[in-house]
Amino acid sequence: MIMNNFRMTPQRRIILEELKKTRKHPTADEVYHSVRKKLPDISMGTVYRNLEILTKQEEVQVIRNGGKKKRYDGNSTKHFHIKCTNCGRIDDLPENLVGLIKKNITVDCGYEITGYSLVLYGLCPDCKKKLGGK
Amino acid sequence: MIMNNFRMTPQRRIILEELKKTRKHPTADEVYHSVRKKLPDISMGTVYRNLEILTKQEEVQVIRNGGKKKRYDGNSTKHFHIKCTNCGRIDDLPENLVGLIKKNITVDCGYEITGYSLVLYGLCPDCKKKLGGK
DNA sequence: TTTGGTGCAAATTCTTTGCATCTCT
DNA sequence: AGAGATGCAAAGAATTTGCACCAAA
């Protein structure tokens, strides 16, 4: 597989559309189920293969932090996330921390920095309400 | 299982010792193999169960970022990590970014922040050497 | 003697892969 | 024809769990 000539199949297009249209950072399984509403015969294998290809093409980014499941983000620009420790929901954070961190990364441990991932943890508004009594 | 009376078994003690003594942030499998040198009959199940308990007790923290495997860190104080994108090695970062980030986390999205995880990506000194030509 | 822990093996969960078939060029 | 893609099912990898037995309080 030389993989420099990707085709935009209906499956790939709809997977990408679903990811672009939500900010829910769905898991592969969630993508599968939402795409299935439009393409009832699509398989998990196809979903995984396309998510991988879209990630390689940098149309999509993977969020992998805290849980067992990968989550996929249709916004491939660098940004931060915040994850609810109660329900697992992941939201985007505003861009303002990025510059700050970049400016202050002065790591003298010999690494050559190419990227970074920040996830904040906390209770989302809904869960805060639900767990209010505690 | 009410789990408020933990016992310090030899298995648990040695797992913790191994984690405290290294800065390599081993995977469960790596813990299993190093503990096996002292306790040849220990099982993976026991390793996983103890890693989970030690994490709950906050003796140990889990690093889960970028890869499929969890990694375990015998340093349970909050600190940052840097991960080599080539070999997967994870090192600690100095503490200096923590205060900075804490001071500047002003998230107005309704979350109640309880923690955060930052992993930097890059090439470790060894891999930088190896891949020098590129 | 009750509660927690262990080893072993089976089961789960998430993800990847092999394969025959299909679809674009 | 030939490369990429698909659906299906099986395989893999990492982790969790059920169970019978063991051990400390």
Cβ-contact A100, B104 below 8 angstroms: yes
Q: With an 8 Å Cβ cutoff, are B122 and A104 in contact? A: no
A vs B, Cβ pairs < 8 A, gives 116
Write the residue in A64, A97, A122 that is nearest to B111 by C-beta: A122
Q: Where are the domains of chain A?
A: 1-76, 77-134
Question: Which pLDDT belongs to residue B92?
Answer: 73
pTM (2 decimals)?
0.75
Instruction: Read off the pLDDT of residues A66-107 as tens digits, 9 standing for 90 and up.
Output: 667 889 999 877 676 776 665 566 677 656 555 555 555 544
Residue A32: CB less than 7 A from any atom in strand D: no
CB contact under 8 Å between A110 and B120, yes or no, is no
Q: What is the pLDDT of residues B72-112, one digit of tens each?
A: 999 887 677 776 665 666 777 656 555 555 555 544 555 66
Q: So what's the architecture of A77-134 in CATH?
A: 2-Layer Sandwich (3.30)
Q: Residue B39: how many CB atoms within 10 A of its CB?
A: 14
Mutation pick from A64, A108, A117 vs chain B, by most beta carbons of B within 10 Å, is A117
Q: Which of B74, B59, B62, B57 is nearest to B20 (CA)?
A: B74
B1-76 and B77-134, same CATH topology: no
CATH 1.10.10.10 fits B1-76, yes or no: yes
